[in-house]
Amino acid sequence: MTSAKKPHHKMAGQTMSGADMVLQVLVDEGVDTVFGYSGGAILPTYDAVFRWNDNNPENQVKLVVPANEQGAGFMAAGYSRASGRVGVCLVTSGPAATNCVTPVRDCMADSIPLVMVCGQVARAAIGTDAFQEAPVFNIMSACAKHVFLVKNEEELEETVRTAFYIARSGRPGPVVIDFPKDVQNWHGVFKGEGLLPLPGYQQRIEALTGASMPREKARDFFRMLKKSKRPLLYVGGGVILGEASGTLRTFMKRYQIPAVTTLTGIGAVDTTDDLSMHMLGMHGTAYANYAVEDCDFLICAGARFDDRVAGLPHRFAEQATIAQIDIDAAEIGKVKRVDWSHIADVGAALRDLMEYGSELHTDHPRWLKHLADLKKKHPQNFNRDSEIIQPQAALAMLNEITKGEAIITSGVGQHQMFCAQYLDFKAPRTWITSASMGTMGFGLPAAIGAQYAHPDKLVIDVDGDGSIRMNIGEMETCTTYELPVKILLLNNLGDGMVVQWQTLYFNGRFSGTDKSLHRKDFVKAAEADGFEFARRVSKYEDLRKALEEFISFPGPAFLEVMTDKEAFVYPMVGPGQPYKDMLTGPYIASREHGPSEAVLDTSDCF
């Protein structure tokens, strides 16, 4: 990496412990909050945190202790997803480190920058099955972007800086530092600068960040765009991770190209914008999926054609020429063959395209009218006649109150999909969910992390009764730290998404999914954990008032809404099925397959 000469570090030349070195580098990297659980093999570093805060009252490092180390990992992930900064998790060795395998893999799957520092037994004891020893390097190497086992104490501070560099550069991801206890206790001279040599990786990153798009490639893109009558943007989480949402919106407006988004791409496009066609895929809106079927030029920006979007790749966007922009070369053509591609940061690529096509303004009135008609003919809908509260209705009502301005986290399951379908998101980093890994128990600790990232914003965890059980201990974390996190529990007395699949594909054999006999009283649990607002609603007439009071309550609040266990998520594209076989359910209008003659008109739109 080439950069301007940095000023001399004020602590350079001083002797300090390895634990103090790590904490100093964390502070240098801008870390203000650490999530973690202490234990024998990490005690020196926890002591360093205590002493740092004691000696630096104006520059505190907040230490947040969860109920479980998995919670710490998801808090750090929620902090990162909400802020765009690297989240930090600090835990001890053995079971603490293995409890973080799921959050690390979750971050890797969704490309979230995280640094996990875990204690390890002393170097001499590694491999002896010492107390609370686990082979962290071996386990995490399959789950993380990179893993360091600190064997050479002289490279300690460079290792920590390099971990942050790797976590945030290129395609972001989690980096694990396995930190032996004797290295924490070692004393040496702090250098105040330096990274480990990573020549191949650094060259690739410099090539990505330093190069502009060749004019010939930009010309080829605009040739395809000019030829197109029905262009469509397919927007993924890479747009948000690359801080490119503003650039994308400018690109959309300039060339009048509508967009569908993936689950992680929600928020990259203002969902209230006329050009937004909302989420596509397995549980995407019917009109988004119809738009994909009808388009003739699909521009993939920071997305990867995963199985929940392109379940049957060769039948996905069959009529379309396809362009793909991604920072990760491995994603180009991995699932779906593309006709044009560019490996770069998506924001830089879009800016290069707009610079080349600065004089070009496109309009597609017939196509835009067709898409507007799709929205009118195939809107999201649900059972509006039932006296039992429908989860979609509860979220639609919540949306009227929050107006797309809240940060929403979710667990995983039906409630997650209902959030994606019925809530508005006007800004990036306001929708936080476990997408690729689909980890139940994610929502509550992620909300805690997001609240630390944005103390003054409204943060709501929309959860399910199955998902919240996974990390229910973190309810107490909300009250311990007096965090105004709001928990909206949609309770359908079962694992709703699995029940839906069992109904559709397993002839109604509900093996292991019925929670109706469980005796958990979530309201009493919330009260026991110190929630002063803890209520249950089971009737429509009580719902709006309860939601309004829940949102306006100044501290942590818990609201349980009893919902219809027979409310399924529609539309649904079955696994490995093409969009033409999409099930729209009993309340969403479907169409005869294929676009209308009007949209296939080839008259010039330029």
**Where in the sequence numbering do the catalytic residues fall?**
69, 131-132, 181, 497
- Could you tell me which residues are beta bridge partners of residue 534? 558
Burial tier of 187 (Cβ tally within 10 Å: 0-12, 13-18, 19+) = exposed
CA 107 distance to own-chain centroid: 8
Round to whole Å and give the CA distance between 79 and 107: 12
CA 566 distance to own-chain centroid: 28
Q: Are 33 and 450 spatial neighbours (Cβ–Cβ below 8 Å)? A: no
Q: Report the residue count for the chain.
A: 606
Q: Are 502 and 510 spatial neighbours (Cβ–Cβ below 8 Å)? A: yes
Round to whole Å and give the CA distance between 38 and 505: 45
Amino acid sitting at position 387:
E
Nearest to 104 by CA among 95, 93, 94, 116: 116
Burial tier of 91 (Cβ tally within 10 Å: 0-12, 13-18, 19+) = buried
| Spatial strand order in the sheet of 174-180 | 62-64, 33-37, 87-91, 114-120, 174-180, 146-149
Count of H-run helices and E-run strands, the chain: 23, 20
Amino acid sitting at position 103:
P
Round to whole Å and give the CA distance between 312 and 575: 8
Distances (CA, A) of 443 to 244, 460, 485: 25, 9, 11
Amino acid sitting at position 410:
S
Q: Are 437 and 106 spatial neighbours (Cβ–Cβ below 8 Å)? A: yes
Q: Using the structure block, give the residue that is written with the tokens 């830089």.
A: 348
Round to whole Å and give the CA distance between 174 and 86: 9
